Amino acid sequence: MVASESGTDFPANRSRKQIADMSPRLGILKNIPFVIPFEVRVSMFRAFVEADRICSGRPRFMHMDGRQVVRIRRDHVAEDGFNKLGGDDKEGGMDMKSLFQIEFVDQFGSVEAGIDGGGVFKEFFTSLCQEVFDTNRGLWVPNSQQELYPNPMSFATEANHLKWYHFIGKILGKAMYEGILVDVAFASFFLAKFFRLLHIPDELASLDEQLYKGLLFLRHYEGDVAELALNFDLIVDEFGEKKTIELIHGGSSIPVTKQNRKDYITAVTNYKLTVQIRKQSNEFFQGLEKVIKKRWLRMFNPQEIQILMGGVDTLIDFRDLRANTKYGGLYDDQAPGIQMFWSVIETFNQEERRALLRFATSCSRPPLLGFKELVPNFCIRDSGVDEQRLPTSSTCVNLLKMPMYKSPRVMREKLSEGHHVRGWV
């Protein structure tokens, strides 16, 4: 790998003339990336990952030779994943760019049969995300839009909590490296920390809307600010106990006035958006950078990184999905049951379409550049002729297993019922 002056990586087999020709364009990419269409930057990101993979001799999942086996107990996915993959290289942890093979161990201690061609890792990753992003676990808390950010009190809910954030950053980096979408939404102020952007008070709305409205009221208050009896401190609740946090040295004895209220608003913003989750955020992004180079992501803004991680939050184009669907068993694109399936799907509203997509692939949002990017391709295969059976899925390989229904009404009912039984809606 050769580095250009812009800090971008080139495959080592490129000639100096090729590198010279590309450098001005990559200078634009580094300094003013947003003049380049988002979809083009996504394609360039994929190309950088692929070049890194090739130059470092890391083949894709389908290559089976030389892979280290990682055994994960099905009833301890997060614990085993953290213990075996969470440490840094110097601590005996695994290079997340390397190839490794996930083997699941059942409740009886037996290794489950199966070859990890990428699907088993996706199954592990999906199960892991369901556990670590569960807000009941205490590592993450949601804002009013159900977007996640690190729990300021994580130290009291999880042993080695900072190492957990580092591990989650690494595993999300691995997913981005392999092109696996993550069905999780992060608060925009949290993703902005990756760019070390200076927070502004308006960003508080994505953390605490009531606090934001209170500060907005203070900013425009025309009366005597001293009447509000505010000091440069905050009262926080730590497990039922009230604790005073001074925003500046001696803040508890410094009143907020009309002259210094802007300083107070800035101090509250800094504490809420930066200070209280600084350690957790630093560990998460350091873990992410173990896999994804920072300069690759500097092509994007925080909202675009969310799309890069989790797909595009847009209407689902089932014509595009159909054009990139494979079939198995007795099904093909012209089979009566398949013709009926696509007709039935056309009657679904967007919420139902998202539920079906998540039911089959584990992610409710489509890939940014279309379903051709879904790896492996979405697939439908038959699962018998019993019309009383519900459809099932194998999200690890994006597979929908559907009985050979004869009635559109029954097919629609069973598809909808299958989503609810699986808990996707």
Catalogue the active-site residues: 396
Please calculate the CA angle 359-365-370 and round it to the nearest 5 degrees. Answer: 110
* 171, 381, 386, 417 from 411: Cα distances, Å: 37, 14, 12, 10
Phi, psi (rounded to 5 degrees) for 235: -100, 120
Please calculate the CA angle 163-165-170 and round it to the nearest 5 degrees. Answer: 95
One-letter amino acid of 205:
A
Phi, psi (rounded to 5 degrees) for 168: -65, -40
Q: Distance between CA atoms of 256 and 149, rounded to whole angstroms?
A: 29
Q: With residue 233 as reference, give the H or E element that holds it.
A: strand 233-238
Give start and end residues of each alpha helix (H) in 238-349: 261-273, 278-289, 294-297, 302-310, 318-323, 336-346
Q: Distance between CA atoms of 50 and 30, rounded to whole angstroms?
A: 19
Give start and end residues of each alpha helix (H) in 291-407: 294-297, 302-310, 318-323, 336-346, 350-361
Query: Which positions ≥6 away from 115 have C-beta within 8 Å?
Result: 64
